Amino acid sequence: MNRYLSHTSALEWLAYAKADPLAPAAADRRERLPRHDGTPLPPAGKTTRADIDGLASFGLGYLAKPVHLLVPSSECRIRCADARCHVRSGPFPARSFLPIDEGTFSSSPELAFVQMAEVLDCPRLVKLGDELCGIYGIETVGIVDFDRTSPFTTVKRLERFLLKAECMPGLVKARKAVRHIAPGSASPMETAIVLLFCLPPRLGGYGLPRPVMNGRGSLKKQACRKPSDRRYRCDLLWPAADIAVEYDSFLHHGSRAKMADDARRRNDLLARGTTVVSITGRTVWNLIELDEIARLLARRMGKRLSTNGVGWRKAQHELHGMLTGSFFDGR
């Protein structure tokens, strides 16, 4: 009988297994999958306790309990503390599943995003989208991996999947959330910063335009010391406004050599007219400092903030509390 990991269990497998669904090898493996293009899950027998315990033999003993499984009918469910079965009898779009081992599959990042829309509010779902389209693991399930070099998915792939998906719980919310994803984040703190600045005011953000995450800012020739200096990565970059936000993390910028490199890079960016705003962990925690920087960015972009009123401040406090409660070491 086939087993299908879903929801948080699928996210855990993606992060722990260092899955790379965008790699060519992953595409080849998908071609050998049972086809689910517009078809339901194949009929299956009742899930048993042995099925749950047997996941460890496939190297999945790390999955948190309860393990979330997708089943084709209510008759296939098992009721126990170690498993939660989600009945989904409708058709699945292409790219809905990834192979783990013989007879064991996981929801793809795109399908897992829709599944998590059933249980997450919109800000948390956007945060998950930033993680799936970023390169630092999936903090939503407690797994941060700074060794990743590629995202789990892209905004375009999410959009294509959501366009083809039909009659799925959470689909409406997922379609709304995908509009606010900022791909390319390299750390939980970068994601927190972009959410605080760029989510719409009704969700607690300042409503600033989405930046290019870890985008490259070009330098003028006279500001370059060597050819490789011509383009520099910025944590958050608004190219049209020529302004960048850099997060000063002790974890990634703490060595003297790295700090010296960062200082030279910022001086070079300033020399070509790019304003560089530095943010620390203290800034993110302090709403007064955050307000000042948001207003500075808005003025530079020629934008007017719509953040007056008790309703926005309440939404901001909820968003800020959610984000500052999700990381502890200022990464």
Tens digit of pLDDT for each residue in 241-299?
999 999 987 555 455 666 666 677 777 777 677 889 999 989 999 999 999 999 999 99
Task: Name the maximum alpha-carbon separation found in the chain.
Answer: 71
List, for residues 30-75, the tens digit of each pLDDT value.
555 555 555 668 777 788 888 888 888 878 999 999 999 999 998 9
For the stretch 2-14, pLDDT in tens is 889 999 999 999 9
Closest Cα partner for 304 from 214, 237, 208, 238?
A: 208
Q: What pTM was computed for the model?
A: 0.88
Query: What's the CA gap between 159 and 132, in Å, rounded?
Result: 13
CA distance 12 to 16: 6
CB 134 within 8 A of CB 182: no
- Please give the Cα distance from 39 to 48 (Å, whole number): 24
Percent of the chain at pLDDT above 70? 83
Nearest to 284 by CA among 240, 221, 328: 328
CA distances to 76, 87, 250, 251, 253 from 258, in Å: 55, 51, 10, 11, 5
Question: For residue 80, what are the β-bridge partners?
Answer: 83
The 8-class DSSP code of residue 180 comes to G
DSSP string, 40-63: -PPP-----HHHHHGGGGGT-TTP
How far is residue 161's CA from residue 203's CA, in Å, rounded to a whole number?
A: 24
- How far apart CA 11 and CA 19 sit, in angstroms, is 10
What pLDDT sits at residue 234? 87
Round to whole Å and give the CA distance between 323 and 127.
9
Distance CA 294, CA 288 (A): 10
Q: Which two tokens stand for residue 330?
A: 């200022």
Identify the residue with better confidence: 277 or 327: 277
- Asked if pLDDT for residue 122 goes beyond 90, the answer is yes
